Structure 1
Amino acid sequence: MKTLLTGGTVVSMDPSVGDLERGDVLIEDGVIAEVAERVEAPDAEVIDATDRIVMPGFVDNHRHTWQTAFRGIGADWTFPEWAVAMHGTVKPHYQPEDVYAGTLLGRLEALHSGVTTMLDWYHVAQTPEHEDAAVAALRDAPGRSIYCLGAGWGTPDPVDADIRRVRSGLSGDGLVTMALGLRGPAATGMDTVARELKLAAELDLRTSLHIEAGGTITELHQHGLLRDTTTFVHANGIGDEELRMLAGAGGWLSISPDVELKMGFGSPMTGRALAAGLRPTLSIDDVPSVGGDMFSTMRTAFAVQRGLDGGLRSRDLLEFATVDAAASCGLGDRTGSITPGKDADIVLLRADDLTVFPVTDPAATIVSAGHPGLVDTVLVAGRLVKRDGALVDVDLAALRTRLVASRDRIAAAAGIPLDGTWRPQPAAE
């Protein structure tokens, strides 16, 4: 099967391909076959990309979709308030069907805004049925997804059997794969971290770990446990020497600028990471607190760093959200750029929309003025999952009804109001 995207402005994110003011992209059996100013393919299905920017899909390497039903409720919360609300108050009332609804709608939202690859950091650990519901939702959403299982999150309990069970159903190289969410030495002790890293290596799983304060990377380094397959999330409190340790190990850093600034983590680590030799990546984190699109995430990271030191170019932000994030997920050879031989994970943005017209510098326009309303068409591995501004073969009305019912049931069980008056109360230190 062949598909030809024709006449668009191509922002390939591949230096060897470059950008094309007017270009064609030929897709064969889900793989990018050719990128050129003109491609002759008379037997291909043609998608007219005139007045469209053709770019690789975004890669979000850290999002907690199980929280989707409570979108916006935490816009004014600090991090301690969020932790009490989501983990202490509502999470205990989640049933598997609630996990499924939130995960499915959250993944569809990401696709709708051009996120073709997403790592779903699951830490609503309850039962195997909850885990299976999350995996089922990711499979039912037509995106490239990584189920990052934070089994036993918040407890020191062994998770080996649980990880192996889920991994046995997510083998191979399909669109839904798996990673392991580490709990870290502060929660479990260094021996457990070492065991989990050994398990991840045995099962060929990449790992992800949330950290805030300094010391963790130093401790891991001293124990020989820094890996080039681990992505550290946030890390606002770590020092420059730890950043250099992470860079030396070939590790990765995921920055969630909107959450980090709003919840009091500190300034995003973008500039400091680059100075230490790291390629930072970008992620959304959670939608109870912030928006779920990569456009606003890039813009926040860009504005903050430019305000601090005048550094970064708009294209840097696009790299963080595409090629660099894909590499952090171990998918650099499959996605993240419009490169012949890679899977066709491609987004078409409206260049004739009045909010961006006229598009003089496509990359700068995407970062400075892009928004989800521009996302006209989305392909994942060559499959059309959004066309002419609408998701394909998705019954959104039924899914909306299901998610609202889930939210209302959980809120009633937890005894919390949904009128904007609820302010969680963290325990006094």
Structure 2
Amino acid sequence: MKTLLSGGTVVSMDPSVGDLDHGDVLVEDGVITAVGEHIDAPDADVVDARDRIVLPGFVDNHRHTWQTAFRGVGADWTFPQWAAAMHGTVKAHYTPEDVYVTTLLGRLEALHSGITTMLDWYHVAQDHAHEDAAVAALRDAPARSVFCLGARWATADPVDDDIRRVRADVTDHGLVTMAFGLRGADDTGLDTLAGELKLADELALRTSLHTGSDGTSRPIADMHRHGLLRDTTTFVHGNGLGDDELRMIADAGGWLSVSPDVELKMGFGAPMTGRALAAGLRPTLSIDVVPSVAGDMFAAMRAALAAQRGLDGTLNARDLIASATLDAAASCGLDSRTGSITPGKEADLILLRTDDVTVFPVTDPAGSLVSAGHPGLVDTVLVAGRVVKRDGALVGVDLPALRARLLASRDRIAQAAGVPLDGTWNPRP
């Protein structure tokens, strides 16, 4: 099967391919086979990409998708309030059905906004049925996803059997793959963290770890001293880490995931985007939690740019598009498959409208997307060459039925937890 994206503004994110003001992208059997000013493919299905930017699909490498049902309720919460609400109040009331529907609709929301690859950082662990429901939801979404199984949050419970069980089912093939969500040493101690990293190495799993410092702790230096830094680990947030600790991550080949909206709103401090770049890291971007922030990458890029330029005037729009595509794909170990418009890679592509009045005229594509982009521009989405969104609508998805299931789930959980849904919920840590 051949598909030709014809006449678009191609922003490839691959220096060897470059950008094209007017160009074509040929996809054969799910793989990009050619990029050029004009490609002759008379036997291909043609997608008219005129008045469109053709961009690699966005990659969100850190989102807790199980919280989708409570979108927007935490816009005014601090981090301790969020933790008290999500982990301390509602989590215990989730059934496998709740996990399934909130994960599926959350994944579809991300796909709808152009996020073709998403790492689902799962820490609503109750039992095996809940984990299986999350995996099933990701598989039912026509998208590339990484199921990042987090151990029992802030406990030292053994996790070997749990991780091995899911790993036997979720392999490195197909659209849904697996990662290991580590517990921090401040929660469980360095010995537990070392054991989890050893297990990850044995099972060939990449890892993700929330970290940061209030200025008194040195979590990365502690890991470095014990030989626990890896090129397969993505550190999430990192606010308050020392510049030398950022260089330790960079020297080890590791990654940093910045969630700028959450970090600014919840009191984490300034996002680490600029400091990470200065330390030799390629920072990546993620959404984190939609009870508090928007679930699209446009908002994350805009927040990161505004915060950093307000601090020191550094960082540019092109940096952020790289953070949200190729660099984030590399952090997930998927840059050989996705993240740029490169012949030989799978066709995870998005077509963004340039004739929409909110961005017209588009003179500088990168500048326009970061300064003014929004999900309403996402006209067409392809995942592994399959068109999963066309003319602004997801293909083959019964959204009314899913919305009804999600509302029923939210209302049941809220009633069981005894929390209001009228905007007055003010969690007390």
TM-score, scaled to structure 1: 0.99
Q: Once the 2 structures are TM-superposed, how far is the Cα of residue 215 of structure 1 from its aligned partner? A: 1.1
Look up the match of 2:147. 147
Distance 1:81 1:308 in 2: 27
> Structure 1 stretches of 5 or more lacking a match?
none
Report the Cα distance in structure 2 between the residues aligned to 1:174 and 1:154, rounded to whole angstroms.
31
Who is 2:300 aligned against? 297
Taking the TM superposition and a 5 Å limit, the aligned residue runs for 1:20-35 are 20-35=20-35
2:256 alignment counterpart: 253
Q: Is the 8 A contact 2:172 2:178 kept in 1?
A: no
Aligned partner of 1:353 in structure 2 is 356
**Greater mean alpha carbon deviation, residues 190-199 or residues 115-124:** 190-199
Kindly provide the CA deviation profile for residues 280-311 of structure 1, in whole angstroms up to 9, marking residues without a partner as x.
00000000000000001000100111111111
Spell out, residue by residue over 1:134-175, the C-alpha distance to the aligned partner (whole angstroms, 9 max, x if none). Answer: 000000001100000002222101100000000000114110
> How many Å separate the matches in 1 of 2:127 and 2:186?
24
Aligned to 1:128: 128
One-letter code aligned to 2:246: L
> Of the candidates 403, 408, 422, which is equivalent to residue 411 of structure 2?
408
For residues 312 and 415 of structure 1, the distance between their equivalents in structure 2, rounded to whole angstroms, comes to: 45
Deviations 1:45-87 (Å, cap 9, x if unpaired)? 1101011110000000000000000000000000000000000
Partner of 1:263 in structure 2? 266
User: Alpha-carbon deviation of 1:218?
Assistant: 0.7
CA distance in 1, matches of 2:425, 2:343: 51
Per-residue deviation, residues 187-241 of structure 1 (Å, max 9, x unmatched): 2221111111111111110000001214111111000000000000001011111
Correspondence for 1:198: 198
Aligned to 2:239, what secondary structure does the other structure show? Answer: strand
2:427 corresponds to which residue?
424
Report the alpha carbon displacement of residue 21 of structure 1 after superposing the two structures with TM.
0.3
Structure 1 residues 309-349: Cα deviation after superposition (integer angstroms, max 9, x where no partner): 11111100100000100000001111100000011000000
Q: Cα RMSD (Å) of the superposition?
A: 0.6
Distance 1:410 1:107 in 2: 20
1:310 aligns with 2:313: yes
Matches within 5 A, 1:373-384: 373-384=376-387
For 1:94 and 1:9, the matched residues in 2 are separated by 45
After TM superposition, list the pairs within 5 Å mapping 1:213-252 onto structure 2: 213=213, 214-252=217-255
Do residues 184 (structure 1) and 184 (structure 2) align?
A: yes
Find the counterpart in structure 2 of residue 389 from structure 1: 392
Q: Secondary structure at the match of 2:335?
A: coil
Partner of 1:170: 170
Q: Provide the C-alpha distance between the structure 2 equivalents of 1:166 and 1:220, rounded to a whole number of angstroms.
A: 27
CA deviations on 1:253-290 (whole Å, 9 max, x unpaired) are: 00000000000000000111011110100000000000
Q: Hey, what does 2:339 align to over in structure 1?
A: 336
CA–CA separation in structure 1 for the residues paired with 2:197 and 2:382: 34
Give the AA of the match of 1:106.
G
Task: Give the match for residue 281 of structure 1.
Answer: 284
Aligned twin of 1:74:
74
Amino acid at match of 1:390: A
Write the distance in 2 (CA, Å) between the matches of 1:271 and 1:108: 31
Q: For residue 280 of structure 2, give the secondary structure of its aligned residue in structure 1.
A: coil
Counterpart secondary structure, 1:236: coil
Question: Where in structure 1 do 4 or more consecutive aligned residues deviate above 2 Å?
Answer: none
1:87 aligns with 2:87: yes
Report what 1:212 is aligned to.
Answer: 212
- Is 1:321 matched with 2:318? no
The secondary structure found in structure 2 opposite 1:237 is: coil
Q: Distance in 1 between matches of 2:11 and 2:359?
A: 16
Which residue identity lines up with residue 236 of structure 2 in the other structure?
V
Structure 1 distance, partners of 2:29, 2:198, is 36
CA distance in 1, matches of 2:206, 2:259: 19
Give the aligned residue type for 2:89: T
Please tell me the residue identity of whatever aligns with 2:387: L
Counterpart AA for 1:278: L
Give the aligned partner of residue 58 of structure 2.
58
Q: What letter corresponds to residue 366 of structure 2 in structure 1?
A: A
**1:45 aligned partner:** 45
Structure 1 residues 172 and 250, CA, compared in 2 at 3 Å: closer, same or farther?
A: closer
Q: Where does residue 9 of structure 2 map in the other structure?
A: 9
Q: Secondary structure at the match of 2:275?
A: helix
| One-letter amino acid matched to 1:158 | P
Determine the C-alpha separation between the residues in 1 that align with 2:227 and 2:38.
51
| Identity rate, percent | 77
Moved more, 356-365 or 225-234: 356-365
> Which amino acid in the other structure matches residue 363 of structure 2?
T
The DSSP-based 3-state class of the residue aligned with 1:343 is coil
1:83 alignment partner, SS class: helix
**Cα offset for 1:252?**
0.3
Alpha-carbon distance between aligned partners in 2 of 1:172 and 1:82, rounded to the nearest angstrom: 33
Matched positions, count: 426
Q: State the AA in 1 paired with 2:112.
A: H
Distance 2:81 2:188 in 1: 23
- TM-score when scaled to structure 2? 0.99
